[in-house]
């Protein structure tokens, strides 16, 4: 069980009041708050052992390099990857997708080859593919999402063909909480193609125990800042055989074996993909965040998310005038997007802020799906380990007060 009151004591930000009310933070889908343990781990590097990694033979550099590379191993264990060599540090999920889009298409895909996404993807899993599709004359297809905000498996199957080379899907939707049935999807993908299968884990990894070997996928991306870590650090996990095949996207120091005036050779994986000085302090912060989550236990984190989701679904679903966008499946993320006819999402978000309640308004980087639904914007509440039923009760009360004023 998670003791939310005790957990909140680890987060300095919850000492704040907003507009004379206790802070109710319901925007962890955008970024999570940071516990003192993460802040201290990063501060310790800067104040006690700061030095560039992989470059020095002196004590400070050796200490920081060891701490940095230890995080790679923590990430490996956290997602049950076969080897820490398969863990590539990036600046975040968006950076990871840009890396994958370039690395997996250049010299590997030809004109007319196809990439398959879903209608409910975050822009980070759309725009990088659009860029390479234009560059290499590729085609992008989109799997339909049904009225329950679930990926349509029949449509998925019908859109996979011999030209499908890359399939990239959300592991947990940042708008509807949808958690696709990856066992079924993986079965369809493997039966009908030899496509590279990628999962966007930005919302999935912070909330659920992830086993990349059991998932049967080829690549996974995720961000540190959505799982209690700092901004500027993320991870791409990929199968070693595929990583060894693809070429670097970024060039510079630290990713080379040898450099000549007319050529160069690359360092082994994962370093051949990490050019220049890496975000080593941010990586160490991510390692501290993983330690924090593992102390709680990811099974407990997942159970807490499911319990809050079930409570919130009933609570919010019964508010008059609120249209809820949320998966109807038995298991989904604690993510609730909402709108009200005749009232703009931004107005509701601003009103909620007057009660100290932080939610997000807009299209949440899922603009094409909003357009499909005929909605300009929604406001979204997302929960994490420092939220409880009282926070959702505050949201309900705040919504009802706001609606009285705005309607």
Provide the annotated active-site residues.
Answer: 365
Longest dimension (CA), the chain: 71
Q: Strands 17-18 and 21-22, how do they pair?
A: antiparallel
3-class DSSP assignment, residue 100:
helix
Task: Name every residue whose Cβ is closer than 8 Å to that of residue 80 and which is 6 or more positions away in sequence.
Answer: 210, 211, 212, 213, 214
- The Cα 208–Cα 301 span in angstroms is 7
Instruction: Output the CA torsion 357→360→361→364 (10° steps).
Output: -170
Contact 273, 88 (CB under 8 A): yes
CA distances from 320 to 6, 80, 117, 225, 373 (A): 34, 44, 35, 34, 20
CA distances from 200 to 33, 121, 292 (A): 21, 9, 23
Contact 55, 61 (CB under 8 A): yes
**Tokens (6 digits) for 82:** 């076969």
3-class DSSP assignment, residue 139:
strand
Task: Name every residue whose Cβ is closer than 8 Å to that of residue 203 and which is 6 or more positions away in sequence.
Answer: 29, 170, 171, 172, 173, 174, 226, 333, 335
Residue 156, classified by CB atoms within 10 Å of its CB into exposed (0-12), middle (13-18) or buried (19+), is: buried
Contact 170, 121 (CB under 8 A): yes
Return the H-helix or E-strand segment holding 212: helix 212-215
Q: Among 211, 397, 384, which Cα is nearest to 307's? A: 384
């Amino acid at each position: 069980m998670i003791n939310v009151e005790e957990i909140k004591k680890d987060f300095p930000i919850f000492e704040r009041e907003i507009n004379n009310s206790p802070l109710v933070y319901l925007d962890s889908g955008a970024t999570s708050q940071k516990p003192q343990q993460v802040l201290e781990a990063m501060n310790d590097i800067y104040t006690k052992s700061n030095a560039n990694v992989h470059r020095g033979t002196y004590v400070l550099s050796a200490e920081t390099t060891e701490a940095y590379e230890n995080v790679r191993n923590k990430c490996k264990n956290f997602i049950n990857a076969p080897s820490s060599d398969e863990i590539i540090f990036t600046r975040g999920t968006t950076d990871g997708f840009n890396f994958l889009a370039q690395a997996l298409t250049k010299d590997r895909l030809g004109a007319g080859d196809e990439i398959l996404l879903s209608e409910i993807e975050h822009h980070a899993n759309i725009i990088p593919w659009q860029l390479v599709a234009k560059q290499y004359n590729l085609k992008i297809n989109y799997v339909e999402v049904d009225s329950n905000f679930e990926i349509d498996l029949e449509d998925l199957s019908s859109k996979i063909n011999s030209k499908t080379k890359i399939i990239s899907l959300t592991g947990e939707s940042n708008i509807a909480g949808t958690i696709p049935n990856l066992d079924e999807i993986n079965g369809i993908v493997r039966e009908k193609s030899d496509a590279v299968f990628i999962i966007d884990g930005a919302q999935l990894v912070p909330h659920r125990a992830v086993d990349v070997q059991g998932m049967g996928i080829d690549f996974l991306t995720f961000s540190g800042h959505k799982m209690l870590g700092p901004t500027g650090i993320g991870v791409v996990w990929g199968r070693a055989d595929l990583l060894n095949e693809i070429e670097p996207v970024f060039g510079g120091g630290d990713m080379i074996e040898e450099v000549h005036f007319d050529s160069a050779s690359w360092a082994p994986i994962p370093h051949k993909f990490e050019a220049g000085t890496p975000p080593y302090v941010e990586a160490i912060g991510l390692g501290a965040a993983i330690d924090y989550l593992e102390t709680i236990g990811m099974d407990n984190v997942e159970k807490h998310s499911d319990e809050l989701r079930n409570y919130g679904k009933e609570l919010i679903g019964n508010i008059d005038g609120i249209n809820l966008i949320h998966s109807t499946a038995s298991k989904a993320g604690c993510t609730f997007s909402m709108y009200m006819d005749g009232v703009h999402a931004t107005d509701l978000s601003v009103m909620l802020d007057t009660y100290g309640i932080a939610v997000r308004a807009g299209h949440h980087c899922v603009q094409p799906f909003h357009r499909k639904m005929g909605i300009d914007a929604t406001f979204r509440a997302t929960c994490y380990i420092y939220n409880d039923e009282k926070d959702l009760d505050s949201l309900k009360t705040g919504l009802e007060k706001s609606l009285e004023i705005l309607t």
